[in-house]
């Protein structure tokens, strides 16, 4: 993998790197590749819940600190657009506390994901945004920003809040009860969407606070992940399954990152109906950009140049010219995929 960095950078991919992807110091890496890089990506908080920098809030992966700090300082000094990632509700460390785990209607609790209906957790996220924002970075890629799927969340708090809206006892609320009634189902989508965007709004406020604290000239931007997969009904599913709405994100952060086909190993081939459906699902991006927003295509596990070129072709056909990606999959990918498209 190492010798291919240049090729990926030449294709304008902003790679979200982990220090272990690099195998040299940040300084050595940057001295070789800086002139090819469109932007420099580094993991800030990963799905384990650990952060790569000294923190008073989250657990710290000590071995990443030196690389992280050198990386952001040097890239900033060279005028390279510097992005750090942050997993939000996908947080295994925080989810050790059963009180915060998101849950199915049958009471199966997720060990890797937090219920988005947790104001206290938004505050936790906001603190981490402020810590990240104290570094000279330009953008935060925010992952794990919605519900796992339409069947979530039935934790005690969600039951207590939602059941009265559909004339039901909290303990007797089932997914079928909601899904079988179109009016209830729409209420469910609306209610969950409000939670998701309230959480994102809190993080956006925190980014602004960090701008003021460090006197950043150009505001720190938050790119919000939108999962777009045929298994979860593309754009319509983004709202009904996960709870996010690009129109609301336009009002809040003006920056979305479309995670393309997260649950599918291969991208669709040009000339197929599936391909055309995907391009159609990306139409929203034109209006989003026209109104001043930024849209990027993101893909996990961009492991070959051929894969990268497929991604770029989709970008070309959908008029999106910003590409972000990782070489590997998230550490909790198996659980994430299973909970999103498996038999829960």
Binding residues (CB under 5 A) for Zn ion: these are: 115, 117, 153, 155, 158
Minimum distance, C-beta of residue 145 to Zn ion, in the bound complex (Å): 15
Contact 40, 82 (CB under 8 A): yes
Would you say 105 or 234 has its CB closer to Zn ion?
A: 105
Whether the bond into 76 is cis, omega within 30 of 0: no
Would you say 117 or 255 has its CB closer to Zn ion?
A: 117
Would you say 89 or 143 has its CB closer to Zn ion?
A: 89
Which of 62, 249, 63 is CA-nearest to residue 145?
A: 249
Orientation angle between helical segments 305-317 and 273-281, nearest 10 degrees: 60
Minimum distance, C-beta of residue 182 to Zn ion, in the bound complex (Å): 22
Minimum distance, C-beta of residue 153 to Zn ion, in the bound complex (Å): 3
- Six token digits for residue 245: 């709405």
Q: Tell me the chain's radius of gyration from C-alpha atoms.
A: 20
Contact 49, 106 (CB under 8 A): no
Minimum distance, C-beta of residue 120 to Zn ion, in the bound complex (Å): 13
Would you say 68 or 121 has its CB closer to Zn ion?
A: 121
248 to each of 17, 170, 196, 200, 206, how far by Cα in Å? Answer: 29, 29, 10, 10, 18
Minimum distance, C-beta of residue 230 to Zn ion, in the bound complex (Å): 27
Which of 123, 62, 65, 132 is CA-nearest to residue 94?
A: 123
Contact 104, 151 (CB under 8 A): yes
Minimum distance, C-beta of residue 104 to Zn ion, in the bound complex (Å): 10
Would you say 19 or 243 has its CB closer to Zn ion?
A: 243
* Alpha-helical runs (H) found in the chain: 5-10, 19-22, 26-33, 65-77, 119-133, 156-162, 175-179, 182-214, 234-237, 246-252, 273-281, 284-290, 305-317, 333-341
Would you say 77 or 165 has its CB closer to Zn ion?
A: 165
Alpha carbon distance 126, 279 (integer Å): 34
Would you say 58 or 153 has its CB closer to Zn ion?
A: 153
Minimum distance, C-beta of residue 100 to Zn ion, in the bound complex (Å): 9
């Amino acid at each position: 993998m190492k010798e291919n960095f240049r090729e990926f950078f030449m294709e304008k991919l902003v790679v979200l790197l982990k220090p272990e992807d690099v195998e040299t110091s940040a300084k050595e890496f940057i001295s070789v590749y800086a002139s090819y890089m469109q932007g420099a990506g580094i993991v800030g908080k990963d799905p384990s819940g650990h952060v790569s920098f000294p923190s008073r809030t989250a657990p710290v992966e000590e071995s990443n600190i030196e690389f992280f700090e050198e990386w952001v300082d040097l890239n900033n000094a060279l005028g390279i657009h510097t992005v750090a990632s942050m997993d939000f509700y996908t947080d295994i460390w925080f989810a050790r506390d059963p009180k915060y785990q998101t849950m199915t209607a049958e009471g199966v609790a997720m060990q890797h994901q937090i219920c988005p209906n947790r104001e206290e957790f938004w505050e936790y996220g906001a603190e981490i945004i402020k810590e990240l924002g104290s570094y000279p970075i330009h953008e935060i890629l925010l992952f794990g920003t919605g519900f796992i799927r339409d069947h979530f969340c039935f934790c005690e708090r969600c039951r207590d809040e939602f059941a009265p809206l559909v004339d039901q006892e909290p303990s007797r609320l089932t997914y079928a009860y909601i899904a079988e009634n179109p009016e209830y189902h729409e209420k469910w989508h609306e209610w969950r969407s409000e939670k998701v965007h309230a959480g994102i709004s809190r993080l956006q406020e925190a980014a602004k606070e960090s701008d003021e604290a460090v006197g950043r000239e150009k505001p720190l931007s938050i790119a919000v992940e939108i999962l777009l997969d045929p298994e979860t009904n593309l754009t319509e599913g983004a709202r009904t399954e996960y709870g996010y709405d690009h129109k609301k994100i336009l009002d809040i952060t003006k920056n979305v990152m479309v995670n393309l086909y997260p649950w599918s190993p291969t991208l669709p081939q040009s000339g197929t109906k599936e391909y055309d459906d995907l391009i159609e699902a990306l139409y929203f991006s034109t209006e989003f950009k026209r109104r001043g927003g930024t849209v990027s295509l993101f893909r996990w596990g961009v492991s070959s140049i051929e894969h990268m070129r497929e991604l770029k072709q989709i970008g070309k056909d959908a008029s999106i010219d910003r590409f972000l990606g990782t070489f590997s999959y998230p550490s909790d990918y198996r659980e994430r995929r299973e909970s999103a498209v498996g038999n829960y």
